[in-house]
Each structure stands twice: as structure tokens, then as C-alpha cells.
Amino acid sequence: MRKQLHVVVRARKDASAVEAALERYYPDWEWEVDTVRGERDFSWIIGMCRELFEDSNALWKVLLLGRRTYPRRARSRAMVVEDWAVVNVGKAEVRNARLAEIVDAIELGRAAPRLSVAFRGVPELRSGDVVVEDQDADVFLRWGRFAESVEEVTGVELEPGAYLSVRKPGNPPEEVLYDGSGRPVLRLVTPDEGEPEAGRLGEGEPFELEEFVKANEEVLEERFEESREFLREHVEEYSEVVVPVSGGKDSACCLALGREVADELGLDLVAVYVDTGFDLGREVVDELEETLGVDIERVDVSEAFRRGLKEKEPTPEDRWCTGVKVAGIRKVVSRLEDPVLVVGDRDAESRRRRLRPPVHENRMLEVPEVNPLKWWSGAEVLGTLFRLDLPVSEFYERGFYRLGCSVCPSLTSWERALLGEEETLQGG
């Protein structure tokens, strides 16, 4: 079984500090820590790391260095070498950093490959510099009707076409759109409450979506095959592969992966759609069923959902809606003999999910769960759906980042404006 995380540091004392941090913050992960035997020359360290990582099948590979060793002329705190990252912990030596600082550096190192982009007329993923030093960030795509949405909601004009979005969650969340040459074009701020704001950052030349998929075809194929093999490795001992489907991008990609792996291993594929009556992805679920040739079992919880809404709407502090959805999945899982759950959780969605290992026990359903997209960017998920010619909800084109219910407490003011009052109250 492969390691999930492989960290390399300069010396044994640094390794002890990293091991202590991993024991505290990554207790359920499969990890290993190596050293370059005290070497200080950066070029030699990179060469030694290449040898160490060449034989490593870990999902994340990170080299941590202190200020004394990290190149002084480096333009950023993190850089990507092949498929692994080098990160400056910010202290003279790794051993001088607090445990939380070490984990922060590891998380940045895990995020760096999915945040690296080269702009050559079309954005090329997992190539070039890290576009933002923020492990909470994600790279995403904006295309089609997005320019129309920006003008309708904010009054700011944007040339139609495709853009790479660098999205940073926070209070409030914001994203910056880049054209194919890497020029920043638009900044969009989307608070939970209040009015969304957009501001032009400059003129740009949007790219064609088809050109993006073509330019990134090799990377997208690598992600899919990497995840297919990872999923195969972790579900082969079970009888049923259960994929909850919402019509969102991540669950659609998981369904495509799950179908291939289940067919290959001769396992039962159990696709489940829990219909709350307010789902924004209902039509896409129908299209996925036909496109992939799978039977998707539908569990209708709309009556229970509407009863709950009559009492109170879901809030960030009381997400009772999640319990209703989970109860719908439990109806299916409870009758299965030996199920394993396949869910599209990704690192970029939240720190809580990022620290959760890609294979763990789903405590609400009490079944094993595998997250085969955990290290993907949002742009890679969308690009894969386009490459495989799978349906993508129009809500993403209109400007959504996640897809759930029209009464979700996580909706930002931007998404509520895109939905409009009628859709929000009556369902997607």
C-alpha cells in the first residue's frame, strides 16, 4: 500500500520536528520522513530528493527547508520541481519552527503542484510558477455565460471567453481572473452578506475552452489514471462501490472513476442521488445516467426537507439539511453487504477536509470512505469532465463554485444573486 505523504528535510533534528508535527496533526495518515543527511548545498539537495522521490509512490511529496538553505533569490516561498514541492518554513532551520508552522509549510507544499500554472496563450496546469502562496486557494475555470453574469450582478463589463480563476476563500472570498497570458483581468469579491463587487484589473485576451482542454490533455489524463489506480487499490477488497451523486462536478468525476474501477474489478457500482427537492444538479444527474450508462438510484427526501424548512432554514451553525441527505444515503448503504463510499472531497475546499486522510471511516455512515480527487484542482475536475464529454451544470458556467441546494447556508451573496429570489425559494 502506498504512502500518502512523503516529507524530506535536511537533517535528523529537522526530521524529529516534522515527525512530531505529523503525529499531532496527521495522526491517521500513512507518512514517512527522510533526510538528505545534513547536506546544505541546494543543488545537491535537489538531486538527492530526485532520487528519494523517484522511488516514492506517495500522493504528496514535499521538501522542507529553512531560510539558510532555501535559495535567497527565489521569487516565492514555494516552488514545484517535477511533481513535488520545495517550501521555505520561514525560520533559519526547520527544527526552529513551531509545529503549527511546520504543518502550514507541509500544507503549502501539498497545495503547490495544483496551484502551479504556466501561461502560454492558454493556461497549462501543474507547470510554471505557483500562482498564489495560499494552501486554501484553488484554480478554477470561468467561461461561457460568466461574463454575462458579472455584468448583470455587478455592472462591470468583461469580454466573453474563458479565464483561469484563482479563488481564495476567506472573509469575504475573492477570486482573480487571468487571461491566457497570465494578465490579471478582474477581481471579484463575494461576501456572504452584502453586495458582490467586481473591479477591472486590466485588459486581457480570454482563451478558448477547447484549447485549454487540448493543451492540458496529458495532465488531465495523468490525474484520471493516478486516481483510478488509487481508487482501485483501496476498493478492491469490498463488494460494492457506493458513489453519492449530486450533479456537481466532483461527484460526476467520481462516478466516472467508480464506474471504470467497478467494471475492472467486477464489483457492484451503486450510484445514489438524494433528491431534496431543492437540488441545483437534478438535470445533470439524469444526463450522467444516460451518458455513463449507469443506473442511479434515487432517494426522495423532499417531504422531510420541506417539513424542516417550515420550522427553520439551515444555518452555518445548524446544518440539519446534511442529516436529511445522509439519512437518504444510509437507506441504501444499510442494505448492502460490504460497501465502500467514494466521495469527491478535495483539499482546496477547507482545512478540515485537507487534514482528513484520503482514506478514512465515514463516521456518520460508519463505512469506509475513499476520496480519489483529494489532490485535484477545480480546473482539473472541470477539464476532465470536458475531456470525457460528460455533462457540466449550467450553474458553473453562470458563476457557481460549488453546487448543492438552492437553500444552502453556504451560498454567497454572489450565488444568491445568480439564482434569483424565485429559484432560491422554489428549488433549482
Going by pLDDT thresholds of 50, 70 and 90, the confidence category of residue 426 is: very low
What backbone torsions phi and psi does residue 312 show, to the nearest 5 degrees? -170, 150
Q: Where in the chain is the domain with CATH 3.40.50.620?
A: 216-426
Model confidence at 427: pLDDT above 50:
no
pLDDT given at position 192: 83
pLDDT given at position 311: 87
Q: Judging by DSSP bridges, how do beta strands 197-200 and 184-189 pair with one another?
A: antiparallel
Q: How far are the Cα atoms of 114, 119, 207, 359, 383 from residue 212, in angstroms, in the given order?
A: 16, 11, 7, 31, 8
**pLDDT tens per residue across span 20-67:** 999 999 999 999 999 999 999 999 999 999 999 998 999 999 999 999
The whole model's pTM is what?
A: 0.95
Average pLDDT for 333-339: 96
Going by pLDDT thresholds of 50, 70 and 90, the confidence category of residue 408 is: confident
Amino acid, single-letter form, for residue 407: V
Compute the distance between CA of residue 271 and CA of residue 329 in angstroms, rounded to an integer.
10
Instruction: Quote the crossing angle between the two packed helices 249-265 and 378-387, to the nearest 10°.
Output: 60
Compute the distance between CA of residue 145 and CA of residue 205 in angstroms, rounded to an integer.
16
Q: Judging by DSSP bridges, how do beta strands 78-81 and 84-88 pair with one another?
A: antiparallel
Compute the distance between CA of residue 56 and CA of residue 58 in angstroms, rounded to an integer.
6
pLDDT given at position 367: 97
Average pLDDT for 236-241: 97
Going by pLDDT thresholds of 50, 70 and 90, the confidence category of residue 1 is: low
Q: Where in the chain is the domain with CATH 3.10.450?
A: 120-207
Q: Name, in order, each residue with C-beta under 8 angstroms of 365's C-beta and a sequence gap of 6 or more.
A: 326, 329, 330, 333, 341
For domain 5-112, give the fold.
Answer: Rossmann fold (3.40.50)
Strand partners for 300 = 275
Instruction: State the residue for C-alpha cell 486581457.
Output: 204
Model confidence at 409: pLDDT above 60:
yes
CATH annotation of 216-426: 3.40.50.620
Peptide bond into 196 cis (omega under 30): no
pLDDT given at position 425: 38
Measured from the Cβ of residue 208, the count of other Cβ atoms closer than 10 Å reads 13
Helix (H) or strand (E) holding 163: strand 163-168
pLDDT given at position 420: 83
Going by pLDDT thresholds of 50, 70 and 90, the confidence category of residue 15 is: very high
Average pLDDT for 171-180: 94
* CATH architecture label of 120-207: Roll (3.10)
Model confidence at 239: pLDDT above 90:
yes
- CA atoms within a 13 Å half-sphere pointing along the CA-CB vector of 329: 25
- CA atoms within a 13 Å half-sphere pointing along the CA-CB vector of 60: 31
Model confidence at 421: pLDDT above 70:
no
